[in-house]
């Protein structure tokens, strides 16, 4: 992976590909994985990658807090609400994530 912004997007996709994750966990995981590859990205770059994945149909935002049953409800992305939202891959995102798995073996 030669393009740093694409590496950040891959790491964000990896972070949300196996479970619903909040922004704090995404930032933590992406920071670790970039560090393993001797790369860096600030929070705004990671958020930009997350927003791009949402715009491209690879990720979806969810509300997990307002449902007593614990069900995830898909909601529209709102930058103002980013700290209350959860993120998970779409079926399209799962397919892309599987194609990256070989790159993730460090």
Q: In which band, very low, low, confident or very high, does the pLDDT at 1 lie, cut at 50, 70 and 90?
A: very low
Q: What is the CA radius of gyration of the chain?
A: 13
pTM of the model: 0.89
Summarised one tens digit per residue, pLDDT across range 5-30 is 899 999 999 999 999 999 999 999 99
Q: What is the pLDDT of residue 48?
A: 97
At 26-44, the pLDDT tens digits run 999 999 999 999 999 999 9
Residue 76 confidence (pLDDT) = 96
């Amino acid at each position: 992976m030669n393009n740093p912004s694409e590496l950040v997007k891959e790491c964000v996709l990896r972070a949300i590909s196996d479970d619903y994750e909040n922004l704090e966990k995404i930032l933590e995981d992406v920071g670790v994985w970039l560090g393993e590859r001797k790369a860096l990205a600030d929070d705004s770059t990671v958020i930009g990658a997350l927003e791009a994945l949402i715009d491209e149909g690879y990720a979806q935002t969810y509300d997990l807090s307002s449902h007593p049953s614990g069900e995830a409800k898909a909601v529209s992305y709102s930058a103002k609400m980013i700290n209350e939202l959860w993120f998970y891959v779409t079926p399209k995102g799962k397919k892309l994530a599987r194609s990256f798995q070989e790159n993730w073996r460090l």
